A and B are shown apart, each in its own frame.
Chain A
Amino acid sequence: DSGVTQTPKHLITATGQRVTLRCSPRSGDLSVYWYQQSLDQGLQFLIHYYNGEERAKGNILERFSAQQFPDLHSELNLSSLELGDSALYFCASSAQRGGIHEQFFGPGTRLTVL
């Protein structure tokens, strides 16, 4: 158990809908990262938040957004869903910013768009 929790574990929805994925980092960790894992694209970095502020964006679509709240939990919002958005979404946390710190991954949320 990494100490990172993600809810829900599974989500099934229809095209055009909007969903929110939630991540609670390990106690005390200030950084939260979101990743998408699909069969054809592998693991892709989406976005990084540190202590409530957006720090870096990766391959995140404009239909997707995220935020980190004062209690440090984070939410990833996916809107106007398409079939291709079906994937595993992971969040990870680390103590601080920077390359020196290891990340702890949650168990993931499996999103299925029908």
Chain B
Amino acid sequence: DAKTTQPNSMESNEEEPVHLPCNHSTISGTDYIHWYRQLPSQGPEYVIHGLTSNVNNRMASLAIAEDRKSSTLILHRATLRDAAVYYCILKTSYDKVIFGPGTSLSVIP
């Protein structure tokens, strides 16, 4: 199975952009890259996903490397409510879900 790696923790100042990296060097061509975040005492919530092209939505942007071996979740202006654990996840064509270890994001006022 493919695997993802993420930094254990990151810090950002409020209202600054945040770039959260993920490595998935063993990704296969049909695996989708998803990002979810988990606020304290809650279940994970969807942030964004993509396959090959960069993606934007109201929450964030996803930049996918050309070789697809890494991706970066971009929060354009971090707020205190963005403090959470961010998971980089692969969803495979055979319906498995592979979670990364997660990055704990702290936002400093």
Contact = CB atoms under 8 A, between A and B. Distances in A.
B43 interface: yes
A45 B46 contact: no
B80 to A, nearest CB: 22
Contact of A99 (B42, B46, B51): B51
Interface in A62-78: none
A51 B45 CA distance: 23
Interface stretch (B9-17, B61-69, B93-101): B93-101
Which residue of B34, B49, B51, B95 has the most chain A CB atoms within 10 A of its CB atom?
Answer: B95
B46 A48 contact: no
A45 B102 contact: no
B21 interface: no
B97 to A, nearest CB: 4
A44 B51 CA distance: 22
Given A45-B99, A99-B51, A105 B34 contact: no
A108 B49 contact: no
Given A42-B101, A102-B34, A107 B95 contact: no
Interface string A91-114: 010000111101111111000000
Contacts of A4: 43
B85 to A, nearest CB: 9
A97 B46 contact: no
Contact of B45 (A42, A45, A97, A105): A105
A50 B44 contact: no
A37 to B, nearest CB: 9
Interface of B: 30-32, 34, 36, 38, 42-46, 49, 51, 87, 91-99, 101-102
Interface of A: 2, 4, 33, 35, 42-45, 48, 50, 55-56, 58, 90, 92, 97-100, 102-108
Given A43-B99, A90-B44, A107-B42, 11 more contacts: A45-B98, A45-B99, A48-B95, A48-B97, A55-B95, A56-B94, A98-B93, A99-B30, A99-B32, A100-B32, A108-B43
